[in-house]
Structure 1
Amino acid sequence: MKFYVDAMFGNLSRFLRVLGYDCLLRSNTQNTDDYFCKVIEENRIIITRSRVLYNQARKRDIKAIFINKEGIVNILCELKRKININLTCDPNNSRCSDCNGLLVKTDKNLIKKEVNSGTFEHFEEFWKCKSCGKIYWEGAHWADIRRKIKQVKECVGNEN
């Protein structure tokens, strides 16, 4: 699954990318017709908080999901219910949270000058975005991501 989310869902786009999904973020200024053309051309699913945009997409037979929840855990619960998104968090399958580029595991010594010395010494595995060059490692933020995923699984699991 590939997604194209509204600008108001910036946090969601980053989270979906970490989960490995190809996810684009629509700008507030993007023309609706251009937006729909790109969605169709790239076989993406729209995620929106706009009832108007959702209805326009459905009238054109474009896959769209309307979300009116607040908070990343609630939004992910809704996506899990509606389209059964995969909640596996693995940096080997993640995408760049900034630009949506593919991440490649990289030799630690090749990025020594690109991270601070404490990070370099504390972590063994690093990934680099093929598009923007951002470096990733499993720091404290990964614990927070996994905690949120656990909350989503508990939320959805309690409904069955």
Structure 2
Amino acid sequence: MNRPRITVSIPPELDLFVSVERRGSAATEVATDGTSSLGHVVESLGIPLTEVGGLSVDGEPVPVSHVPAAGEQVRVRAVERPQQVPGAPLRFLLDVHLGTLARRLRLLGVDAAYESEDIGDPALAALSARERRVLLSRDRGLLRRREIWAGAYVYSDRPEDQLRDVLQRFAPALVPWTRCVACNGRLTEADKESVRGRLEDGTQRTYDVFAACTSCDRVYWRGAHHARLQAVVDAAMREFAPSATDSRPSP
């Protein structure tokens, strides 16, 4: 029995997900089973649906539940940027492999929950759904889990590029120095006397401006590492929030 065959056009930005022999082609022929949804067919090519901005058949938009018939011409569109995430405040959840990205997002004031231990894909997906967070991962299998609320593939393995990718894709509001990089809690200004018991003698003598986490009580001041963190903040603000300024104490 011949399997129905369709032609699928894949945009260049999604080429990295498909097999080598399908890359660079304007269109690729795919055999289907006649019962699976178009969403399933696209995923079988290696493309997570989190990266698909729309599907059309013979020029007409169709849902991922559409069951393709023989001879159909399918076009896959990549997600448009900036991507709109309706229905909840924009918040993120990062998997265990994205710790540096999580800390940099928090440095910029972006709500970025992060599991420092591998709690497993089912638990991560359930947490995404329960807290309505966009799950960021480089694990395609994790992003295919149906229970996640929303997700996005992180395209680079370099933290600098990962940060630019997420900021460009979602355009979150940037409010640097307002979140704890350790726990994602909110920072508040703290007078020196209130945090004195948590400071080394040298820090007490040298610094006068402090912030404290309202969740974990961690204390922040402009230490020796401030210049490096400020460079990360400045680069992000120049590119993604050029009109914003801030002079709060840094972690």
TM-score by length of structure 2 reads: 0.54
Please say if residues 73 and 149 of structure 1, whose CA atoms lie closer than 8 Å, have aligned partners that are also in contact: no
Unaligned runs of 5+ in 1: none
Q: Is the 8 A contact 2:129 2:148 kept in 1?
A: no
Structure with the largest fraction of helix: 1
Distance 1:28 1:106, change over 3 A: closer
Matches within 5 A, 1:99-138: 99-138=183-222
Q: Matched residues in 2 for 1:18 and 1:80: separation?
A: 13
Q: Could you tell me how far apart the structure 1 residues matched to 2:240 and 2:185 are?
A: 29
Query: Pick from 154, 160, 181: which aligns with 1:73?
Result: 160
Q: Which runs of 4+ in 1 moved over 6 A?
A: 154-157
Cα-Cα RMSD: 2.4
Shift in alpha-carbon separation, 1:24–1:143, aligned structure 2, 3 A: same
How far is 1:147 from its partner? 1.0
Other-structure match for 2:5? none
Residue-by-residue CA offset, 1:81-101 (whole Å, 9 max, x unaligned): 211134442x2xx22212222
Between 59-68 and 76-85, report the one with greater CA deviation.
59-68
Alignment of 1:136-151 (within 5 A): 136-151=220-235
Mean CA deviation greater in 111-120 or 38-47:
111-120
SS of alignment partner, residue 163 of structure 2? helix
Q: Secondary structure at the match of 1:127?
A: strand
Write the deviation string for residues 45-82 of structure 1: whole angstroms up to 9, x where unpaired.
111011111222xx446311101312221111101221
Q: Which moved more, 1:132-141 or 1:40-49?
A: 132-141
Displacement of 1:126 in angstroms is: 0.9
Contact 1:74 1:152 in 2 (8 A): no
| 2:131 maps to 1:42 | yes
Q: Cα gap change, 1:78/1:104 in structure 2, threshold over 3 Å: closer, same or farther?
A: same
State the TM-score, normalizing by the size of structure 1: 0.80
CA distance in 2, matches of 1:61, 1:53: 9
Q: Displacement of 1:110 after TM fit?
A: 1.6
Structure 2 match to 1:96: 180
In structure 2, distance between residues paired with 1:154 and 1:68: 22
* Deviation, structure 1 residue 153: 5.5
Identity over aligned residues, as a percent?
A: 25
2:142 is the counterpart of 1:53: yes
User: 1:27-46: per-residue Cα shift (whole Å, max 9, x none)?
Assistant: 55424333222212211111
Of the candidates 78, 94, 112, which is equivalent to residue 23 of structure 1? 112
